[in-house]
A and B are shown apart, each in its own frame.
Chain A
């Protein structure tokens, strides 16, 4: 089977790649484009470690065929920080100790950013439901929830004129 030529946009930049028709978007991000921040935990949509934003909606990149990315707009964990400036969600994960081994962290950060981007004041319940598709086996989730609350509070302050 010949490879498919796909043109897409990743983290604001035009990108193109060749892929096998059965390759997933995660396979291509990690294997072809050296964007190894997105992780493969389960490969079946259960763990959320591969979460990316596709045309504005967060999805499991392990459940998207790479060929489907033609003409779409993708945002990955590599695009969350602006240069050396961490996004508030990233900084609060560090400050609140919301990670241990770190394998799930890119997925959590992409998902948490997607939440605070659309809801600047989520309740704890909303945070927990929103992140239900991201599994962490280290932290027990509590520090993750605190970090997302702190990041949301920080973003609210930024958005409110002094």
Chain B
């Protein structure tokens, strides 16, 4: 395997310059995908730019009432942030379903997002939470929805020299809650056959005021199913609303058939997982379900 060069810049500007100068360069955070790709020969970058020595790239900080999560923050560190875990438990739990403790001590949500696997666990949870990312690059910074980063398996919308510097979560919604569930043959060390992230906001009268439902592993990228959320808004989450949500979800799924699951199984599980995640999210919102 040809050797890449290795850089550990201490500023964002230096990292951007290194990445912009070499289209074959890749940013490194936890390395749990990149190093595996390098070792297998599937993808060998010409340069590796380690982001972990850049100030502010690791850790969670308050951003107004919301949160800014440095791109190099490992998944296990998210659990240690009590305010984040209380505000967005679904996001923190999703990130801590990935791999093993060893893997989560290194793996990051930004890496999970930019690896662009359709089965990434943290991504539907982030999309449901309406998270945005700060992209740094040669033309300055831009903030975009999480949904806009992955395009298809292994492909992102990042342009040469750009990298995700931060994930931004909004303040916890008043009477809001979130949850993420996935289906896997094994409880740990497995990849989602289907996954569903739900964020919900309840009205004081007990009806659903707003919802976001995002699915993983049922298409080439994460899917936000607006029709499924619309089926819930204004209802008391009665059987008819839940059935309408399930119909919308099954219609939005375009999964593949593979050894991990069939098309029919993935569609059915996506709807089931969304329903279960919805109940958890409503409970967290202080509702009755």
Which of B98-106, B139-147, B221-229 makes up part of the contact surface?
B98-106
For residues 19 through 46 of chain A, which have their beta carbon under 8 Å from a beta carbon of chain B?
Answer: 20-22, 24, 43-46
Assess the B4–A63 pair: CB atoms within 8 A.
no
Assess the A60–B6 pair: CB atoms within 8 A.
no
Min CB distance A49 to B, Å, is 11
Given A48-B102, A68-B50, are A21 and B3 neighbors across the interface (CB < 8 Å)? Answer: yes
- A44, A46, A68, A129 interface centre (most CB from chain B within 10 Å): A68
**Chain B contacts of A21 at CB under 8 A?**
3-6, 48
A-B contact pairs, 27 of them (CB 8 A): A1-B3, A1-B5, A24-B35, A24-B39, A44-B39, A45-B99, A45-B103, A57-B105, A58-B105, A60-B32, A60-B106, A62-B39, A63-B30, A63-B103, A64-B31, A64-B35, A64-B106, A65-B6, A68-B50, A68-B52, A111-B102, A129-B101, A130-B101, A132-B100, A132-B188, A132-B189, A133-B100
Task: Determine whether A70 belongs to the interface, using a CB cutoff of 8 Å to chain B.
Answer: yes
Measured CB to CB, the residues of A under 8 A from B are 1, 4, 20-22, 24, 43-46, 48, 51, 54, 57-60, 62-65, 67-68, 70, 111, 129-130, 132-134
For residues 149 through 169 of chain B, which have their beta carbon under 8 Å from a beta carbon of chain A?
Answer: none
Query: Complex Cα distance A68/B30, Å?
Result: 10
For residues 97 through 137 of chain B, which have their beta carbon under 8 Å from a beta carbon of chain A?
Answer: 99-103, 105-106
**Chain B contacts of A60 at CB under 8 A?**
32, 102-103, 106
Q: Quick one: closest B residue to A48, CB to CB?
A: B102
Assess the B36–A59 pair: CB atoms within 8 A.
no
**Chain A contacts of B35 at CB under 8 A?**
24, 62-65
Query: Complex Cα distance A70/B53, Å?
Result: 11
Assess the A63–B5 pair: CB atoms within 8 A.
no
B contact residues, total (Cβ < 8 Å): 32
- B1-26 interface code vs A (CB 8 A; 1 in, 0 out): 11111101000000000000000000
Q: Quick one: closest A residue to B44, CB to CB?
A: A22
Given A45-B32, A67-B8, A129-B188, are A22 and B101 neighbors across the interface (CB < 8 Å)? Answer: no
Query: Complex Cα distance A20/B38, Å?
Result: 13
Query: Complex Cα distance A96/B8, Å?
Result: 45
Task: Determine whether B272 belongs to the interface, using a CB cutoff of 8 Å to chain A.
Answer: no
Assess the B3–A46 pair: CB atoms within 8 A.
no
For residues 28 through 65 of chain B, which have their beta carbon under 8 Å from a beta carbon of chain A?
Answer: 28, 30-32, 35-36, 38-40, 44, 48, 50, 52
Given A51-B102, A133-B101, are A46 and B189 neighbors across the interface (CB < 8 Å)? Answer: yes
Query: Complex Cα distance A51/B105, Å?
Result: 12
Query: Complex Cα distance A111/B2, Å?
Result: 33
Query: Complex Cα distance A16/B30, Å?
Result: 23
Query: Complex Cα distance A64/B31, Å?
Result: 7
Q: Quick one: closest A residue to B50, CB to CB?
A: A68
Min CB distance B281 to A, Å, is 23
Q: Quick one: closest B residue to A43, CB to CB?
A: B39
Assess the B1–A22 pair: CB atoms within 8 A.
yes
Min CB distance B156 to A, Å, is 21
